[in-house]
Amino acid sequence: MHLDLATLALLGALQALLLAPLLLVATRAYTGVARTSLRIWGVVLLLQALGWILAALRGQVSDWLSIVLANGVLIASYAETTRALRLLLGVPQRRRWLLAIGVVIWLGIVWFGVVQPDYRMRVDLAALMVAAYSALLAWPLRHALRAGGSIAQRVMLLVLVAAAVAWYLRLHELHGDAALQPGHLVPTPGNVVNMLYSAIEPVVASIAFLLMYNEFAQADLRRLARTDPLTGTLNRLGLDEAARQRFDDPHGLAVLMLDADHFKAINDRHGHAGGDRVLAALARCLGTRLRPGDLLGRIGGEEFLVLLPHTGLAAAAALAEDLRAHVASLPLEFDGLAQAITVSIGVAAREGTDANADALVRRADRALYEAKRAGRNRVAGAACPA
């Protein structure tokens, strides 16, 4: 069966043209990095469409359009693809590298397309460009290959592998047969595979990109659902999940229940906005004294909970005393007037008779009220359960 490669190129361009406006319209509801990366991807599709339209017109328009401009546009699309994905992945975009690679390769293609025509050298340079940009994409995606890695990122890696296979077949054929008629629209097996991949690539790469975006969006929603908006610490849901996950740790688990002393007086004196400032400052203060792996969260109101993995009662009590003293020395001012703040802390460490994490937290809560009854601004340890 004879395949017209110019028609395949135009079909690929048509798919990209249809996808681009859908993505660009959809981005209106998004904000931040998601909106930026999706908008870049929409521009990528438009660039790909223009590049393949010009490439399909080889022989019907000047070489300056079908070689110089077409390759320049396609190189720009590869560079922007890499930038969009790296932006979505939260890694440096390397814009200078992307620009340098693109300019060097494009100048080489201009030389071997117009000044000293050499089709094989142009293909080699294009393959080198694809390899360089693919490496900048694959490196941050490598973590997806680990157990439990991102499915969407694995799909994107498969897209990159497919591109590598298509380009390998084209290069192998081109350099393996000296008598081969040059030209990317000549229907050789290598060219057919490469063009078929290029025609479907806008769709499969866009699907992989949207799957990646969906994973990140779901992760953000999950994080927001477990974060206290005032302090940026875990909320009750996040704390409950973390406590259950860590309860069976064989190396031990301790908890601290903290309560800001006389907080109602602070609210009465400075209003709820002032009280919120105090709670946010208290959370920052506590966070600076915790160890890597410790988890801080706000239970509600002026109460906080700290989860201390790998910690026994004595070490937890020592850390609690350090936190108490540090908070007592916290410099706070409202309208030029100093505002003192102290905390009472209840400490409990997991015992064999604790049925679950809730039981451990309840013992820390009882110890907290012992500290408050004893005069506040102090630490109290929970008695072992009977």
Q: What is the CATH number of the domain that holds 212?
A: 1.20.1070.10
pLDDT at 260: 92
- Domain membership of residue 87 (yes or no) is yes
Distance CA 75, CA 52 (A): 12
Check whether residue 121 and residue 203 sit in a common domain.
yes
Check whether residue 287 and residue 316 sit in a common domain.
yes
Check whether residue 105 and residue 148 sit in a common domain.
yes
- Domain membership of residue 261 (yes or no) is yes
Q: Does residue 28 surpass a pLDDT of 80? A: no
pLDDT at 49: 93
Check whether residue 207 and residue 245 sit in a common domain.
no
- 3-state secondary structure at position 377: coil
Q: Does residue 385 surpass a pLDDT of 60? A: no
Q: Does residue 31 surpass a pLDDT of 90? A: no
- Pick the last residue of a domain from 225, 253, 285: 225
Specify the range with the lowest mean pLDDT, choosing from 89-93, 219-223, 284-288, 302-306.
219-223
Check whether residue 16 and residue 154 sit in a common domain.
yes
Distances (CA, A) of 273 to 268, 278, 300: 11, 9, 16
- Domain membership of residue 231 (yes or no) is no
Check whether residue 26 and residue 129 sit in a common domain.
yes
Q: Does residue 21 surpass a pLDDT of 70? A: yes
pLDDT at 162: 93
Q: What CATH number is attached to the domain comprising 262?
A: 3.30.70.270
Check whether residue 51 and residue 145 sit in a common domain.
yes
pLDDT at 26: 72
pLDDT one-digit tens code per residue, 329-345: 888 777 666 778 899 99
Banded model confidence at residue 92, pLDDT cuts 50, 70, 90: very high
pLDDT one-digit tens code per residue, 288-312: 999 999 999 999 889 999 999 999 9
pLDDT at 183: 83
Check whether residue 137 and residue 35 sit in a common domain.
yes
Q: Which two tokens stand for residue 207?
A: 């699907």
Q: Does residue 73 surpass a pLDDT of 90? A: yes
pTM > 0.85: yes or no: no
Banded model confidence at residue 53, pLDDT cuts 50, 70, 90: very high
- Pick the last residue of a domain from 165, 196, 225: 225
Number of domains in the chain: 2
Q: Does residue 131 surpass a pLDDT of 70? A: yes
- Pick the last residue of a domain from 225, 248, 274: 225
Mean pLDDT of 86-94: 91
Check whether residue 220 and residue 272 sit in a common domain.
no
Distance CA 52, CA 10 (A): 7
Q: Which two tokens stand for residue 70?
A: 């077409």
pLDDT at 383: 60
The mean pLDDT value of the chain amounts to: 88
Q: Which two tokens stand for residue 319?
A: 């850390």
pLDDT at 140: 93
Crossing angle of helices 70-89/189-225, nearest 10°?
30
pLDDT higher at 222 or 29: 222
Q: Does residue 2 surpass a pLDDT of 70? A: no
pLDDT at 386: 45
- 3-state secondary structure at position 79: helix
Distance CA 131, CA 129 (A): 5
Q: Does residue 3 surpass a pLDDT of 80? A: no
**Domain range holding 62?**
5-225
pLDDT at 233: 92
